[in-house]
Every structure is written in structure tokens, then in C-alpha cells.
Structure 1
Amino acid sequence: MIDHLGLQSADVPAAVAFYTTVFAPAGLREAMRYETPGGPVVGICGPDGFPQLWLSPLAEGTERPVHLALRAPSREAVDEVFALVRAQGAEVLHEPRVWPEYHPGYYGVFFRDPDGNNVEAVHHTPPEE
């Protein structure tokens, strides 16, 4: 159900160091990092290597909205979520599309929930072999 969680941080490198240090016994480590104009965005993974905790710079003043991604069983399901979000009148942040900068086959839609949190429905299409 939960695919990944994103937290905003006033100091991303310090937050990464904290999480990877205190959760080292659980196998947490940095999986990937990319730079943005506001600073680094870092994906932390467990033993499976799949980044499920994302740390990013403060993006909206002093507010720290949560980013919650829920896994969808198909791209069609992501599109259905999008249609229902629009029907509810919620703010759409990004319409459904492939996000190759995350990984090949990453298909998601981003929107705000009633409390302003950044919510995502995502499907991970396996790479063609």
C-alpha cells in the first residue's frame, strides 16, 4: 500500500546522516541523490535497495507538508485516481505521466489532499526484458 514517504528538512545532509546512522542496524542507507535548485533530494533505502524514505529541502516556507505515495496496481489505476481527484475538485500538482528521472517505468500522478499534503498514486512498470 505505502510506496514511499517524503519529508522536508531544513538541513537535508544532516537528516540523511541522522537516519542512516541511527537506522544502520536496520540496513538503511543512501540509495540515490539528485540536486535541485533548493538543495539535494535523497532517497534512503533498506536492504532491498528500493528508496522508500525521501528527504528534500524545505519547499514551502516554514511549512513541512508530508509527501505520501500509495502504490497502484496498474497505470490504468493511476489514471482512475487522477479522474477521481479531479471529480473531487482537489488541486492537481502533476497529471499522470512517466517520470524517467525517477526510474524507467515510473508512472505517477501528484495532487493535494484536503490538508494540503502532497499525495501521489504510483505504478512501477517492470522493465521489458
Structure 2
Amino acid sequence: METQELHRGRLIDHIQLVVRDLPASQVFYQAVCAALEIPMGGVGEGYFWIDELFVSTADSPAALGQLTGRHHLAFQAKSPTMVDAFHKVALASGGTDNGAPGEREYHPGYYAAFVLDPDGNNIEAVYHGPAQRSAESVLISF
């Protein structure tokens, strides 16, 4: 097992997805995370993790024998090109199109793509546009 780095002060500590077909999910998540330059964290018997995303089988002690329901996870991308690459490799790695790459009306510069993973989770890659410093920006620190 690889060493994990502990991060304190985050909104979300970790998310667990319990999936039907762990090998299919591993192929999918390794591909999309590689496109987003997010390294795999590690692999164990019946599970793998990427940063704070933990994916396991229903046999995992933490899963209590139950699959998780449908979730929406959004990964940040560093550019629109990265969003495009995410979408392309997701479809080639077992994902289903749920929204082609393009600008969305959520806010100016919101460029995203959506796919369903092998278990039907809505997985998004989003680029929020170039960082801008202005009087409208607020930095909150804990």
C-alpha cells in the first residue's frame, strides 16, 4: 500500500463509490484522471483510490455490502483542452456521453463535459476560465 498524505481543512475529507465492476471502474477512472493529470493514489484488494476518491467493491468492509447510489462528481481541469481530453478518454474507457464539451451558462468561462461512469455516476470535468483577481473575488481562509 502506498503512503497517503493527510490533508486537513478541506470541505470534503473523502468520497467512497461502491461499484459493481471494480476492474471496469479502475480502467475508467485511471484514464480520465490521467487526462486531468491526477495521479492514482493506490490499489488494494477490492479497492483503489485517487486523492480523496475511494472506489471499492460491495465486499469491502466499509461498503457494508451495498452499492452507492448515483452521484455527481466534478473534477477541476486546467484548460478547455483538458476537458476535451477527459471527455474523449472517458468515452473510450467505458463511459457514456452525458454532455459534450462546451461552455455552460453557470457562469462566464464555465467549460465542462459530462459522462456517466460504468455505474451511472455523472462525472464532470470543468474549467472555470482563467483566474481573475478583482474586487468581486473573495478569498476565504480557515
TM-score range, shorter chain: 0.3 to 0.5
- Determine which structure has more spread, i.e. the larger CA radius of gyration: 2
The alignment's TM-score, normalised by the length of structure 2, stands at 0.42
The alignment's TM-score, normalised by the length of structure 1, stands at 0.46
Structure showing the higher strand proportion among its residues? 1
